[in-house]
Amino acid sequence: MRDRFDLVVIGTGSGNTFIDSRFADLRVAIVERDTFGGTCLNRGCIPSKMLVYPAKVIREATAAGRLGVDLRLGSRSVGPRSAIASSTG
Ligand SMILES: Cc1cc2nc3c(=O)[nH]c(=O)nc-3n(C[C@H](O)[C@H](O)[C@H](O)COP(=O)(O)OP(=O)(O)OC[C@H]3O[C@@H](n4cnc5c(N)ncnc54)[C@H](O)[C@@H]3O)c2cc1C
């Protein structure tokens, strides 16, 4: 026997985050052909901010001397490559 649904939502991007208690009485199917969460969660907003924030921290660290802050980072190198490595685990 085939499954039957009252509502089928195609895609799990942020544009489709409207399924809530209003739909509790319905049989709802969510169909996703790629990674759950869509562009914002997997490739857009969140990943890009994971690069933007470390870049901001690096810029502030390199400008610390102008504010009278004596900042030593030890042997660990600070730069875009290490920021990307630490933000992606
Ligand atoms: C680099 C970057 C940074 C961004 N930063 C921001 C930000 O800071 N703030 C902001 O508000 N927006 C940002 N955006 C925009 C944001 O990502 C999009 O506006 C949002 O993802 C759109 O959501 P959506 O659900 O319409 O599409 P998507 O997120 O693209 O989701 C569509 C989903 O549907 C699936 N799908 C498509 N067709 C089918 C099918 N036939 N069958 C099954 N599944 C299907 C896809 O696989 C995908 O998972 C950014 C985008 C990018 C690229």
Domain boundaries, given as residue ranges, for the chain: 7-41, 50-88
Q: Are 4 and 28 in contact (CB under 8 A)?
A: no
Which residue intervals of 1-89 are DSSP H helices? 38-42, 45-62, 80-87
What separation in Å is there between the alpha carbon of 79 and the centre of ligand 1?
A: 29
Residue 54: CB atoms within 10 A of its CB come to 19
Quote the percentage of the chain above a pLDDT of 90.
Answer: 49
Q: What is the pTM of this model?
A: 0.78
Residue 18: which residues within 8 A CB-CB, separation 6 or more? Answer: none
In tens, the pLDDT along 61-89 reads 888 888 888 877 666 555 555 555 665 55
Cα(65) to ligand 1 centroid in Å equals 41
Number of neighbouring beta carbons within 10 Å of residue 12: 19
Look at residue 67 in the predicted model and tell me its pLDDT. Answer: 83
pLDDT for residue 47: 92
